[in-house]
Structures are given as structure tokens and as C-alpha cells.
Structure 1
Amino acid sequence: MKYIRTQKPKRVKSQIPLRLNLLFFFVFLLLAALVAQLAYLQIFNGEKFRTEVDRTDQTLVTGAVPRGLIFDSQGRPLVTNQANNAITYTKSMGVTAASMRAVADKLVTYITVDTDNLQPRDYADYYLSDSDASDAVIQKIPDAATKYKNDTGKLYTAQTEYVEKHMPTFTAKQKQSVALYKIMNGATSLTTVYLKNTGLTEKELALVGEHLTEMPGVNLGTDWERHYPNGASMTSIIGTVSSEKSGLPSDGLTGYLANGYARNDRVGISYLEKAYENVLKGAKSRTQVEIGSDNEIINSVQKFKGQQGANLTLTIDSAYQQKVEAILKKTFASAVSDGEAANADGAYAVAMNPSTGAVLAIAGEAQNTKSHKVSDDALGVLNRAFAMGSAVKPAMILGALQDGVISVSDNTIADTPIYLPATPVKKSVYPVGTFSSLNAASALEVSSNIYMMHLAMREANAKYSPKVSMTMDSDIFDKMRRYFAEFGLGLTTGIDLPGEISGLQGATTLNGQLAVGSALDLSYGNYDTYTLMQMAQYVSAVANNGYRMKPYIVQSISQTANNGKATATTNVTTPTILGKIPNIQAQIDLVKQGMWQVVHGTNGWTTATSLNTLNPGVAGKTGTAQTFTRADPEDSTSKLLETTTLSFVGFAPATNPQIAIAVVFPNLEADTDGNYAQVVAKQMFSDYYKMNDVKADKNYTPHQVKLKN
């Protein structure tokens, strides 16, 4: 029997395609690479990456220091710093809105803060700092949420607008939290701001101190504010400093930031505080701050304690300044009570050392002619200009002497009034025919307008026929103004205060023709306008025999050490000569003689005899200008009112000048017979004599017509 072997069944071949095998192979390779990379990171570079995780950054944080102090010429403090306890907040990098809100909510359980200046946006910011509240608002504005889902800024704006329209109710405590949150939120990273720096009680201070660890960023500190021991005296000269709340002024913000200021820094915003900002601000403290990987401050080390700002010592004696202010206030009040000052701008006075340019006193009273409220306006001495009248006549004569139209030995001119067509007679205040002729000194004594007009006519090569016509060289305005400018009239003086103006020049033509009548008015101070500081600079140039000095208020700069002790003076102002008038001494002496006769002359028309009792004797020149002002100064279309401006310039002692002064009372009543400028001037000289121990002249005679040099 034959057996048939049964065949084994064929083995089924794998159905896994080649492509899948390749995929598995690649997965294997990727897993191997991943394992290798993990091994590389953990075994070979584990320490490096652990260090990176624990890495900290270092940055430098600056802190404010007290501003420099300001003293008068005798070392009396005019501006000091008053230290106040304060609660501060330093904003960490990456701090969240929620954490700031939590700090604010915690802090209001210990202190109270002002909420008067909160705006609807402030409340909205605080409300949205809660993430749940923010999400709920987003649900209320689905269209905006969809539209601005990729623009967080616009989405947040939409949220705040919604909250402002549907403002929730806030409790008193919550409002205070809003106020604190506003300050925190507005601070830049690593900047310290004040949460409360005034009215902080001992209890509040203690409570906050006990819970500092519970409020990240909050600390106890000290704030400084300006203090004025002399009260309001001179504050308009000293200027003001911005508050921590207002911070840097908007004008010049870019420049401040470029120079290292923080937005909440306090800076001088007017006058001396602004002009000397770089000196007064000091050097900020510098603290090296270490920031962890979570952007929290983990350590800080003070590298530089900071340096208080440098101190200013002024040229002004505050005791003398107060006397000048007092006599100016009293005399202007007298003009008001006399019914002479209803439309007056106010009154101004300045005194300076004619040899150096140092300002000895500066005072001003400004009157609102609608409300008749009077306020301090010392800066009006350099930022307001008036027609000063005959007070400029010494400069006119010195210019004529330079021009050669008169000389020291030949300066007598017929006192003949000027008759122009269709114009009232141009004459002096005294009746026509009072004098047949006058020399230069006598013309100053009686304040002859006629004499000055004839000088202008000679300088202009005028051709004149009474009541018919007058022609002049076309450059007469330029010529007279050039002579006046040698004394600083019509130019800024260069004083170390901002805001000075140069005054206004009147038109040189009328209906296309040279304004010859106005040229005559210019010759005796009844046309162009000048500041009182210019007048003081000008009379000082006469007093010191021809040197135009640059006025200054800051005498020196010194530094205070961190221990509060004064250190050496770092800078002393050196007197600056801006120019020398080209008159010879004999010509200057001639004008000085005339100014002496203004006070000591015996003629019935001598203009300043009220000052001839001062001993030693003074020299000066009065001024009366016919001026105009608006019935309503704020309305350029209101009625023009005719007024009178009274002025005075002078120096003393006449033979050895130590002080030069200028006074003006602008826009008094047109028919005023007041003597206000001379009243102020006399008291200013008298007080200076007493306070500086100026010895009387034993040989002095009130009516001593000849000046004794």
C-alpha cells in the first residue's frame, strides 16, 4: 500500500507594506534621537540649565534726593526742604494688575488717602484688574471681543468704555484702593513712587511698617517739599517746583527723559528754580537691584547714596528786599486811595550795584484793572515794558555828544518849541517862553523836551519851517536807537532769569512817510518801551562812567555734604561787562552834573527836589510819559484811555555810587499830580544808607548845585 505524504500548508506572507516598515524605522530613529537629546541635556548640560533657571538680572535703580537750598546775600534761608514721612511703592518688572490691586486693598486697611481727583477711567482700570470682572465684561461685549481678539490694547479700551458706561458702586474704602492702584499702575517698572507723602500719622506709619512683608513693593521713606521761611516774599522770583503728582512738564518732556529724569520727578518750572535746575536737582541715589527669574526683586544694594542739590546764594539782602516791597505796596495803595490808579497796571522797583550788576532788590505790584486785585509781580521788572518818559534823557544827551551835535564846551540851545503841521505844539511841561535857552545840564534839571527834540533834529540834519514842514535823514530812528542800545535800552539785559523781553519799538513811518513827529517823541522817551531792568542797567552805566554791566541775581553756588554741613563754594559769579559807551569822561561828567541838578537844583522847575534831603546826595532823573491803555485790557477793541506813566532813575551816593535804582508807576490818571515814583526812590535810598552804614557827608548842602567829585 502506497502512502501519500500530506504537504504542509503554505505559510502566509506578511501583509505589512514596506512603507509602514519605513515609518516604524523613522519613528525608532526619532525616539533614539530624543533619548540622546535628553541624555545630553541632563547628563552633560544639566548644571548649566539649572543655573539658567535660577538666573538673576541686575539693574540700576535711581532715587530722588533733596533739592538745593536758596539763601539771601546774608546767608538767611529763603527756600529750604521740609522732610515728610512717606509710604513708597517700587514697581517690580512683570508685576500683574491683580497683585497691585491686592496690595492697594491691603494698604487701605492701614491708611487713608485722598480720592477727590479720581476720574471714571481710574475706576474702570481698578475694576478690570480683577480677572473675573474682566472676563465678565468681555462676555458683555461679544462684538468687540471678536473684532479685537488679536489687539489687546483696543479690546481693553472697549472694556473700559463699557465699565465707564455701567459704572459699579464703590465703597469709600474701595475708592481709596482705586486711588492707590492708580499710582501703582502709572509707575514704570523699577520706579519708586509716593503712595502717601503728606499728612501721614504716626499710627499709619506704624501699621504699615508692621505689615510691609505682606505688601510687595511697599516701603517707608522720606519725601521733601519746598519750604519758604520768609513767606511769600520773593516767591515770584524764586519760582516753583512741580509736584510728584504732576511730574515733568509736558513742554520739554523729551529732553528731560533724555537727561535721565523719571516722569514723576520734581523739576523747577519757573524762574530761579527753572533757570538753575541743573544745579539745584542734585545727583540721584543709585541702587543695584537683583531681579529673579520670576521678575521679582530678590536683593538690592545701594551703590551711591546720592548728593543733595547745590545751594544758591543770591545777591539780594532779604531784609532790604522786604523794605522795598513794603514801600512799593504802601505807595501804590496810596495812589489807589488817591483815585489816581483806577487803570494803573501796578508799580515796579529794582535796585542794583552799578559797579557789578548784582541785583540788590526787585519788586513789583500788578493790578487787575477789572477786579482791582493786586498781586505780587516782581518779574514784571523784566517781562513788562513801558514808555519811561524823560528818564531816558541822559542817554539822549550822551548820544548827541557822541554824534558831535553838541560838545562839553558848547551845548546851549534856544528853548524854542516845535510847530509841525496839523499837530499840537511840541513843547516842555513848563510854559512856552519860560527859558530863552538851556544848556545840557539845565535841560536835564528842568526836564526840557524841547532841548531833546532839537538834539534829534540836529542828529537828523532836519530842515524845518514852523507850521509848514520838517524833513529828516531817514536813518534818524536807527541812529537814536543805536545810541540808546549802548546803554541796554531796547535790548535784553542778559539777567540770569528766564522770561525777559526787549520791549517794543514804535513804527518809523506814517502813511509811507518818515514819522518825524514820532522821532521827536522818541528823543524824550515818549515812544519806544523799555523794561525797568533795562532802565536800571542804563542808569548804572551812567553811574559807573560808561560800563554796561550784565545784571545777575545768583551770587554763588555751594554744596551741602550728606551730613548737612556746608562745603566749599563751587562757583562765584564774576561781574560781566557787556559793553562800554564811547563817551569820554568829560561828557559823562556833564550828564552826571545835570542829574545832580535834577535833585539839587534851585530853579522853580527842578523836578526831583523831594530827594535833596538825602545825605550823601543822590543824582537822578524823573520821567513823565503820556501813555494810553485800554478800558478793558482783555478787549483789544475797547476804548483807549489817556494815562500818565511816572518813572525815576538814579544812583547814590552821587560821587561814589553804590546803588542804582529804577522805579515806574505806569498808566496813572492822565492829570495826576502824584509824586509816587520819587516817594519810593527816596525810601529805597534811605533804607540802603541805614542798612549798609553809608556815612553822611559833613559838608553836604541840599541846594548844592555843583556836583563835588
Structure 2
Amino acid sequence: MKPKSHLPFRLNILFFAIFLLFSFLIVQLGIVQILTGEEAQEVLDETENTVTNIPVPRGKLYDRDGNILVDNKSRYAITYTPPKNVQPEKKLEIAQTLSNYIEMEERQITERDMKDYWILTHREEAYARLSKTEKQRMDDEEQYQTVLDRITKYNLESLSEKELEVAAIKRELDEAIELTPHIVKNKGVTKEEYATVAEHINEMPGINVSTDWARTFPQGETFVNFIGGISDHEDGIPRDNVDYYLTRNYNRNERVGESFLEQQYEEFLAGQKEQYRHVTDQNNNVIRSELIQKGKQGKDLVLSVDMELQKKVDQIVKEELEKIIHKPANRHLNKGLVVMMKPKTGEILTMTGIRYHRATEDKPAFFADESYRTVYDAHLPGSAVKGASVLAGFQSGVITKNTVFVDRPIKIASTDTKRSWTDLGPVNYLTALERSSNVFMFFIAMRMGGDYSYVPNDNLNFNTEAFTEMRNYFKQFGLGVETGIDLPYEATGLEGDKETGGLLMDYAIGQYEPFTTLQLAQYVSTIANDGYRVKPHLVNEIRYPGTEEQLGPIYKTIGPEIINKIEMDDEYIQAVQNGFYRVFNGSNGTAAGTFRNLPYVAAGKTGTAEKPLFDEDGNRVANTENLTLVGYAPYDDPEVAFAIVVPQVGRSAGEGINRNIGKRILDAYFQQQENEE
């Protein structure tokens, strides 16, 4: 009898085990389907994570004493956040609905906007203008462009005001980026509009009500030029810097600083944007959104500017212009420029540019704040730069402290006679500065050019390398180069394209190449500061956002930064300082009548530059002068330095306006210091 096999029994056990395993899996799948099926399906449907950035209010600006200069004011806003792949027809529908609830602010609608709108609302009629052959041989883009070209003026004129309003709204919707809120309207949104739109949001997918912010200026127009502007949401980030901003997580329609301090300190003022991650499904529907970075308001700037002093200086310049601007000889006079700064630290205290706009048929005469001209406009400085010329003479070795020249008319062959304002006789460097001798500076220029033996009516022996040498000395003071101020742009003046001995003589008395008022302020600050050229700056501190009552903690302090020490012996610098003292305090000083015997002791240099004016045909129409003044005080321990430029004053019609402004602004500064003590 054969033994009985155990194989069927073992197979039964195996089959039973497999049955139990499958039963367990089926139960588990059922649980997953019933309890977590929806969540699991969402995971399967997820296709993309999109991160969007929500801008925050910009940082505020304060003056050196904590007075607020720029604030943010909240305002109602209507926004649109488009889903992915939204179709033009859907945007048109939303725009049409929204037009029933808001009045769109005025905005120029381009011809292209109107054509796009007309095609969208007259699609069948528009494409009927294409022949069958054209439709066959053209792709979609070519067809659309051809249809655009065939829209007539009559078609566009048929659009009603209501349709143009819808077109304006749709244009805003078209500029929105997927899943990113875009401002449709934020100017003049009324409470009624805000409430009505909020009530009908469910009719307009993506439309929402929100709050936006706008810059306000509690101090009025004072110093607004240097605060700068920010782009509007219609313009967004500047087109010439799109890549720069996009790589820094900016949206295309985001507002950014466009000029001056708003642009220079954009990275601090902009703050930390709020970031959301949006998860979408295969149909581009948002499954969920989550906050991944909380927004932080931009950091605040504390400026070096003294707003109280700034207003006083503005008023002083305006009043001094009013005294003489209506003289017939001053018909070309239209502005006064002033910069005040601390020579040891580079802190800018005031930057004033008051311009007079004469009456026209359409407007009465008025004064305007154009302080940016202190940085952008360059003018011939006249004798104000003679301190640099004397130092160039000392350092180049062509003069010493004992050098004496006889101040008398200088006549070079084939040129006009050159002279000082009067024949001064024998002068050394001190009397040359005190009495403003042109001839002393002419001899410095001739000697630097290689000619030590002046003979009347002879030609000069001139080495053109002297121009480079003289310019290099001037540049050490900041004349003809950037001062380094914390602004996106500053002018450096205009370098002449001719280099002759006669022109170098003109250069040495400030009659050849122009400089900005800021450059002149840095130049005299360098002399006041014993030869150290310090970078001027408008911002003292960057702070974390504070409260309405108190500034926030300091994030960064911007202290003094020395650009260079001029390559001249200290004894020469002290010699020029002595000369500047005598200009303001000596018995024959050109400004002593204004500054001698004051409660404070000041020093500096006056300047007058001839400025002939010509018409378009090159004919001389007027003889004017640029009146300038540079200085600092107190003489022994300088706290403040200044530069003043009053261009295009009529000959002998200035009445010392440069000196009058200089005395009054120093009086204002020291009176304010006394009051604060």
C-alpha cells in the first residue's frame, strides 16, 4: 500500500494564507478609499507648486532729529488674482461685470488696447476679413496680426465710453500674473465701490477688495526732490532693469524706487515680501495655499538732513533772489543753489535749489523747489577754486610761500589781455587769496606748463601734460569726479576738449570747466578737514520699523568714510586755510565786509565767473556772471561747510547775493545750535 501524500494539505494551507492576505489588502484599500480617498486623490492630482510674493508697505524716512519726512497712508484697492490659464473671454466677462461696480480712473487707452478689445467682442466679423487662402497659409499669430492691421478707424470710433472703460479694466486684468494679486484700481476707490465690489465678489472669480498704501509727505514739498519717486503699479518695475528685479523675487507690476533715495535704498525700503505656496491640480485649480514666509515692512531711513535748517535755507535763498531778480540786468537770473554739510563726517545738512519761473501767458511767476540741481547742474565756479590752484602750485613746486608775483595785465601773443579785477601790484599766496588775484593763478598755470619767463606779447612755452597734472590735483578735492554721495546718479561736470596754455590759465581761476554745487561743498570741506576728503551722505541710519511714537532699533549705521587724503604737505593746506581766513576776516578780504566781527569765525573764498549767453546762431545776447561762495565755520574747529552758486546774474547787479546768502545760512545754523543747547 502506497504512503499517502501530504501535498494537498500543504497547498490548502498556502491557499488559505494567500486568501487571508488578499482579504487584508482589500479591507485596507477600502479603508483608504473611504477614509482618505479624497486626500489621496488630491496628492495624485497635484501637478505644480507655485510661489507668489505679496509686497508690503515700504519703510519710512525721517530727518536727523526724528521728524517724519515720508510716511505710508493706507487706501482702498481692487485687486485681481488670476488662476492658471484663464482665457481672454473669461477676463472680458469679469471686466464687464466689474465695470458695473467701479468707475475706472482715467488712463490712456492705446490704439492697440482698443483693437484687441474690438477683436475680442467682434471675433466673427474680425476674422471674416481674412480670405480662405490667408487662413490656410497663415499660423494663428500671423492671422491675428493681419486682423489687427485691418481694423479701421471707424471700428474704433464705434466703441462707446462704457466699452472703453471695460477695455481699460481688461487691460489691467491682462497685466496680472497667475496666482499673484494685481491692483486693478487703487486711486480714488470710494467706500461705496469697495463695499459694492466686496458684495459681488462671487460674480467675478479672482477679484477681491484689499488695502494698498501710498507715499505721503508730512513736510510738504521740502526736500521731496531727493526723496525720489516710486513707480506706479501700471508701470511696474523699470523695463531697462527687468532681469535685475525679477531675479530678486519682484513681480513685474510691483512698485519700486525709481529715483534718488527711493531707488538708492530700495533693498532696505522694500521690506520682506509675504510668500505663499499654491498647489494646483491637473486642471489648474488651486487645491490649497500656505504661507511660507511672513511679510515684514521695509526698514526705515534716518537722514542726515536737518529739516528745520533746510526750510530756513530754502526761504533765505528765495528772499535773496526776490530782492534782485526783477532788475532788468537780471532777466536771465533764475536760480540759487546751496549745499551745507559737516566736513568731518560727510553728513549733508541741507541741499537747496530754488528756481524762479517767470510769468508766461498761461502761468504767473512762481518759485519752485529744484534742489536736485545741486547734484545735476554744473556751473563755472570762478575764483572759489583758487585754493586748489594755490595748493597745486605748492605741491608741484612752481611756487613757495615766499613767491611774489606782480599783479598786472598779462598779454600772450594772439590772445586777449588777461588781468585781475584791478591791478593789485606785488602779491604772495596770502594776498592773492585774500584779494582774489587772477594774475597769481595765471603764473602758477604758466609755470606748471613749463614757462617760467613770461614776456609780454610772446607765445607761451606750454606742455599739455600740465592740464592732466592740474586736473589731478583738483580731482583730489572732488572737483571733476564723483563725490560718492549715496544717490543713483550725480553729475561730474564737463571736461574741456581743448588744452592750451591760455585755457589752463582760465582753469586756474575757475573759468574753463564747470563743477556742481555738491563738488564745491566737498572741495571746501576737504580744505576745512585738513586735507581729508570724506564721502558725503544723506542717510545716517537704517532702522527696523518702529511705532508711531518711537523709532525702531538700529539695523545699520552709516559713518564717515574717507575717500582720500590729498597728496599735499600739511603746511601747504594750513597755508591755504590761512588765506581763506583772510578772505573772510582780513583787512582787504573780498568777503570781510560781510563776515568780519561776527559771533562765530568763518573762512572761505568768493568767486565770480564770467558767463556770456548766446542765442541759437551763436550771437552773444547777454553778459552775466556766476556768483559763488565756499566756506566753513568755526575756523578753528569746523562744524559746517557750505557752497553757494547763483548763476547768470547780471553784470554788477548781484548786490553780493552770494555773500548775503552765506552769512544768513551760517547765522541760521549757529542760532539753531544755540537754541538746541
TM-score where L is the length of structure 1: 0.84
> Quick one: distance in 2 between partners of 1:370 and 1:499?
32
CA change 1:128–1:398 in 2 (3 A) is same
Cα distance, 1:329 vs structure 2: 1.9
CA change 1:646–1:565 in 2 (3 A) is closer
Q: What is the aligned counterpart of 2:211 among 222, 228, 233?
A: 222
CA change 1:264–1:344 in 2 (3 A) is same
> Quick one: distance in 1 between partners of 2:539 and 2:42?
57
Answer whether contact 2:53 2:249 (CA < 8 A) is retained.
no
> Quick one: distance in 2 between partners of 1:543 and 1:629?
34
RMSD: 2.9
1:475 equivalent to 2:468? Answer no
> Quick one: distance in 1 between partners of 2:170 and 2:551?
41
Cα distance, 1:168 vs structure 2: 7.3
> Quick one: distance in 2 between partners of 1:221 and 1:210?
13
Alignment correspondent of 2:412: 420
1:263-283 Cα offsets, whole Å, 9 max, x none, are: 211111111111112221112
Cα distance, 1:453 vs structure 2: 1.7
Answer whether contact 1:487 1:538 (CA < 8 A) is retained.
yes
Cα distance, 1:484 vs structure 2: 1.8
Alignment correspondent of 1:333: 322
Q: Tell me the secondary structure at the aligned position of residue 540 of structure 2.
A: strand
Q: What is the aligned counterpart of 1:177 among 152, 166, 170?
A: 166
Which protein is bigger by CA-based radius of gyration?
1
Bigger shift: 133-142 or 226-235? 133-142
Answer whether contact 1:308 1:561 (CA < 8 A) is retained.
no
Bigger shift: 334-343 or 593-602? 334-343
CA change 1:567–1:51 in 2 (3 A) is closer
CA change 1:542–1:162 in 2 (3 A) is same
Answer whether contact 1:115 1:175 (CA < 8 A) is retained.
no
CA change 1:412–1:180 in 2 (3 A) is same
Q: What is the aligned counterpart of 1:287 among 276, 283, 290?
A: 276
1:426-452 Cα offsets, whole Å, 9 max, x none, are: 22112x3xx431232222111111222
Q: Tell me the secondary structure at the aligned position of residue 533 of structure 1.
A: helix
> Quick one: distance in 1 between partners of 2:161 and 2:462?
79
Q: What is the aligned counterpart of 1:80 among 71, 79, 85?
A: 71
1:577-600 Cα offsets, whole Å, 9 max, x none, are: 111123344332322222122122
Alignment correspondent of 1:152: 140
Counterpart AA for 1:412:
V
> Quick one: distance in 1 between partners of 2:528 and 2:474?
16
1:565-617 Cα offsets, whole Å, 9 max, x none, are: 753211111211111123344332322222122122223x7344212243111
Q: Tell me the secondary structure at the aligned position of residue 693 of structure 1.
A: helix
1:486 equivalent to 2:471? Answer no
Answer whether contact 1:92 1:190 (CA < 8 A) is retained.
yes
Counterpart AA for 1:390:
S
1:383 equivalent to 2:358? Answer no
CA change 1:506–1:441 in 2 (3 A) is same
Answer whether contact 2:107 2:168 (CA < 8 A) is retained.
no
> Quick one: distance in 2 between partners of 1:639 and 1:91?
63
Alignment correspondent of 1:37: none
Cα distance, 1:636 vs structure 2: 6.8
Q: Tell me the secondary structure at the aligned position of residue 252 of structure 1.
A: helix
Q: Tell me the secondary structure at the aligned position of residue 305 of structure 2.
A: coil
Cα distance, 1:316 vs structure 2: 0.3
1:134-213 superposed matches below 5 A: 134-143=123-132, 146-147=135-136, 151-165=139-153, 166-167=155-156, 169-213=158-202
Q: Tell me the secondary structure at the aligned position of residue 457 of structure 1.
A: helix
1:322-376 Cα offsets, whole Å, 9 max, x none, are: 1111111222233311234322352211011011111111011345689687543
Counterpart AA for 1:181:
K
Q: Tell me the secondary structure at the aligned position of residue 494 of structure 2.
A: coil
1:612 equivalent to 2:617? Answer no
CA change 1:171–1:375 in 2 (3 A) is same
Structure 1 gap ranges (5+): 1-41, 510-514, 697-709
Counterpart AA for 1:102:
E
Cα distance, 1:223 vs structure 2: 1.0
Could you tell me the percent identity over the aligned residues?
32
Q: Tell me the secondary structure at the aligned position of residue 437 of structure 1.
A: strand
Counterpart AA for 2:607:
G
Q: What is the aligned counterpart of 2:581 among 571, 576, 596?
A: 596
Alignment correspondent of 2:630: 649
Alignment correspondent of 1:118: 109
CA change 1:597–1:657 in 2 (3 A) is same
Cα distance, 1:667 vs structure 2: 1.9
Q: Tell me the secondary structure at the aligned position of residue 337 of structure 1.
A: coil
CA change 1:638–1:146 in 2 (3 A) is farther
CA change 1:467–1:337 in 2 (3 A) is same
> Quick one: distance in 2 between partners of 1:134 and 1:456?
78
Q: Tell me the secondary structure at the aligned position of residue 286 of structure 1.
A: strand
